[in-house]
Amino acid sequence: AVLAAQAAARYTPDWASLDSRPLPTWYDESKFGIFIHWGVFSVPAFHNEWFWYEWKSRQKQDCVDFMKSNYPPGFTYPEFAPDFHTSFFNPGDWADIFKASGAKYVVLTAKHHEGFTNWGSPFSWNWNSVDTGPHRDLVAELGEAVRSRSLHFGLYHSLFEWYNQLYLADKKNGFKTQEFVAHKVLPELYNMVVKYKPELIWSDGEWEAPDTYWNSTQFLAWLYNDSPVNATVVTNDRWGAGIRCKHGGYYNCDDEYTPGQLPKHKWEKCQTVDQYSWGYRRNMKAFDLMDLPSIIKDLVKTVALGGNYLLNIGPTADGMIPVVFEERLRGIGAWLSVNGEAIYATRPWRIQNETANVPVWYTSKGSTVYAILTARPSIPVLELLQPVTASTTQVTLLGHQGPLSWSPIDKAGGLFVLLPELPQSPSQVWTIKLDGVK
């Protein structure tokens, strides 16, 4: 019914109309996705994915020293591209890992701020993955593998490019001219959508210019009305300076954003496993990475507050997902295989969290409430103050056979739950399922 209503609606190129579009339901139900930052920046694999800009424009000392120590004088960033050879890239292997993680959608960087496209864009001559480097259409290959495993496929796209001459000319003109938008951004976006039919467009690189420069509302009206993905596509909020957290599909607001309380609008937290970079870093260390319990707790908190969780990994230039990232993803999948019903297709409950004797985050599905414990209780009796029980209330522990004994705290609500020996879990997070509570 929602899809039929969307198909019938015609959106006009203004935020009031575009913001009225219902978010396709697949997105909210998915809850968990994988973000992939992969490009020419994966070749130096130093500092972070902003390496080109940090080296050339900001002249960060560690980047300057890295180039001086490892590359000949006069070496330019585009010379890294031939080494983006992706020799070991097997899209099926990647998709198997993503499927095993329990993620429901995957978002690949089709083009980051360096301007290099991971497909043979006709508007990025000799600066794309078909003309140089891998000589492969990375977007097509990964998209096919991901979709064949019943996962949704999305694409990240940066509006601006640090060193594109058309962009720099428009910028010099105070964005009064739109040569870059007319000849590069929009034709490339249309090409990307028509060719690969992404179900999610993760826009970025918008902040230097207003949405009127980017012609964002015109593009989104076409996307929602006439594109081949008009009924299913989801977008974020990065469509021009000052637009974040105000307009668009769902809201990202800022990288690694977490609201203090339940927002009124659907949102997504993008978080990277390597806390110092979104792209692969050759010199990352174990203590730079989020451990599994931290990731699971972050996922749980995000979903309890109504958000989706988009977790980022950076593959290597030769096309491998570093084993430590794979280990994290498979660990999440192991936890979700037991606790997934407390995550997927849930809704925030009337109370999001409490801390009577351990931190608890709540999610709900119909008349079922899930109390997710993010620490092991010190005693075998769990105190939950918020649920209001009835004589028919049933209490279970996901992954444990049989009902748990419980008793009400008082007539106003709350219950004591007698816990069994909690199973050892690398995640240190457990779920109590409450049927028939208010």
Question: What are the structural domains, with CATH classification, of the chain?
Answer: 15-342 (3.20.20.80), 347-435 (2.60.40.1180)
Digitized pLDDT (tens) for each residue of the chain, 438 residues in all: 555 555 567 999 999 999 999 999 999 999 999 999 999 999 999 999 999 999 999 999 999 999 999 999 999 999 999 999 999 999 999 999 999 999 999 999 999 999 999 999 999 999 999 999 999 999 999 999 999 999 999 999 999 999 999 999 999 999 999 999 999 999 999 999 999 999 999 999 999 999 999 999 999 999 999 999 999 999 999 999 999 999 999 999 999 999 999 999 999 999 999 999 999 999 999 999 999 999 999 999 999 999 999 999 999 999 999 999 999 999 999 999 999 999 999 999 999 999 988 999 999 999 999 999 999 999 999 999 999 999 999 999 999 999 999 999 998 999 999 999 998 888 999 999 999 999
State both tokens at 323: 């084993």
DSSP 274: B
Which sign, positive or negative, has the C-alpha torsion 136, 118, 77, 288? negative
Q: 269: burial class by Cβ within 10 Å (0-12, 13-18, 19+)?
A: buried
What residues have CB less than 8 Å from 314, skipping those under 6 apart? Answer: 36, 37, 38, 42, 49, 272, 274, 277, 278, 279, 280, 281, 322, 325
Determine the Cα–Cα distance for residues 8 and 19; give it in Å rounded to an integer: 16
Determine the Cα–Cα distance for residues 253 and 276; give it in Å rounded to an integer: 19
Provide the residue type at 227 as one letter. S
Which of these, 362, 371, 380, 364, lies nearest to 430 by C-alpha position? 371
Determine the Cα–Cα distance for residues 77 and 276; give it in Å rounded to an integer: 21
State both tokens at 433: 């399922």
At 201, phi and psi to the nearest 5?
-115, 115
Tally of residues, the chain: 438
What residues have CB less than 8 Å from 60, skipping those under 6 apart? Answer: 47, 54
Per DSSP, helices labelled H in 75-164 are 91-100, 138-148
Cα–Cα distances (Å) from 291 to 193, 196, 275, 313, 324, in that order, read: 36, 34, 11, 13, 10
